[in-house]
Amino acid sequence: MNKVNHIAIIMDGNGRWGKQRGKSRNFGHQNGIKVIEKIVEASIKFKIPVLTFYTFSSENWKRPKKEVGFLFNLIKYYFTREIKNLIKNNIKINIIGNIKNLPKNVKLSLLESMKRTKRCNKILVNLAINYGSKNEIIETLKKMSKKRVPINVKNFEKNLYTKNIVNPDILIRTGGKKRLSNFLLWQMAYTEIYFIKTLWPDFKVNEYIKIINNFKKVKRNYGNI
């Protein structure tokens, strides 16, 4: 039976969910936060060590300015409000992506959250913010060139945003789309992928558990027969 060490999630469908209810896309994003909390709680219960949520991609800057601004304010508001609960529940927060270009107040909030939860060890929650896998790969090669280290798989992985983090066993993408959207392309070479029609705000814990149970029975060959 396969052990689940890391689950990555593309939380697609928030905007469509909001529109379907005669509300704004931002209404969908607000409700999506509640699902993140439930999935983190379930992951702690099932002793899954690492979760990674695709929160804001490097391509999401192309969205309307109001939506982008709302997303950043939502992130900042959440960590300001919930930081004590995160520490109490022993949840470690880590940000992967280029946060240099984020609004200053959002960047400071994220850095503070990482600092205050760095000793937490029940679960590691990675948030991919201003993240794009192609950019990560280019930046990794630049780092290696600057350090003048040999280019090989081991050294490459030491310089990724996800250094020292086990690669995802499972990728879940909600919302019915069947694509990776420039997310953890290197890290997901042997990840089992589950594309789900359910829009993210409707994604339930029981559906999550079904995916985990299915994964446990999958034969993982890693290129072997």
Which tens digits make up the pLDDT trace of 78-98?
Answer: 999 999 999 999 999 999 999
Q: Domains, the chain, ranges and CATH?
A: 6-131+169-217 (3.40.1180.10)
Give the angle subtended at the CA of 177 by the CAs of 175 and 180, to the nearest 5°: 115
Task: List active site positions.
Answer: 12, 60
**Can you read off the two tokens belonging to residue 192?**
């089992």
How much is the pLDDT for 51? Answer: 98
Identity of the residue numbered 54 = Y
List, for residues 127-139, the tens digit of each pLDDT value.
999 999 999 999 9
How much is the pLDDT for 225? Answer: 62
Give the angle subtended at the CA of 137 by the CAs of 195 and 211, to the nearest 5°: 20
Q: How far apart are CA 185 and CA 181, in angstroms?
A: 9
Q: Are 28 and 17 in contact (CB under 8 A)?
A: yes
- DSSP for residue 81: H
What pTM value is reported for the model?
A: 0.95
Q: What is the pLDDT along the chain (225 residues), one digit of tens a residue?
A: 899 999 999 999 999 999 999 999 999 999 999 999 999 999 999 999 999 999 999 999 999 999 999 999 999 999 999 999 999 999 999 999 999 989 999 999 999 999 999 999 999 999 999 999 999 999 999 999 999 999 999 999 999 999 999 999 999 999 999 999 999 999 999 999 999 999 999 999 999 999 999 999 998 887 776
Q: Are 201 and 32 in contact (CB under 8 A)?
A: yes
Residues paired with 128 in a beta bridge: 54, 96
How much is the pLDDT for 157? Answer: 97
Q: How far apart are CA 65 and CA 156, in angstroms?
A: 35
Q: How far apart are CA 93 and CA 111, in angstroms?
A: 9
Q: How far apart are CA 4 and CA 95, in angstroms?
A: 21
